[in-house]
């Protein structure tokens, strides 16, 4: 009985390996797609808040009339140090 179970297991593994290596009909073998790397974005310039000195991206900075960057409206009202 144990020999029969062993033969069935070997045949099942062999069939599983054979089915996994089959090629799709009518075309070259399909290779797994490799993950594409996202395009390297250029770094955004960083500005220091004129009040507290915290660095933040230029797009997030609040500028006063003189062009000085601030991190928040409260710091813009306080002015530079």
User: Looking at residue 38, what is its pLDDT?
Assistant: 72
* β-strand partners of 57: 46
Specify the DSSP element, H or E, that contains 63.
Answer: strand 62-63
> How much is the pTM?
0.49
Q: Which residue would you say has higher pLDDT here, 45 or 19? A: 45
Instruction: Name the pLDDT band for 16 (thresholds 50, 70, 90).
Output: confident
The beta-strand segments (E) located in 1-81 are: 46-48, 55-57, 62-63, 69-70
């Amino acid at each position: 009985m144990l020999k029969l179970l062993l033969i069935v297991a070997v045949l099942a593994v062999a069939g599983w390996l054979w089915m996994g290596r089959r090629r799709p009909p009518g075309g070259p073998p399909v290779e797994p797609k490799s993950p594409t790397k996202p395009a390297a974005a250029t770094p955004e310039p960083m500005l220091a808040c004129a009040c507290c000195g915290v660095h933040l991206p230029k797009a997030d900075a609040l500028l006063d009339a003189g062009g000085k960057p601030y991190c928040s409206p409260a710091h813009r009202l306080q002015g530079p140090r």
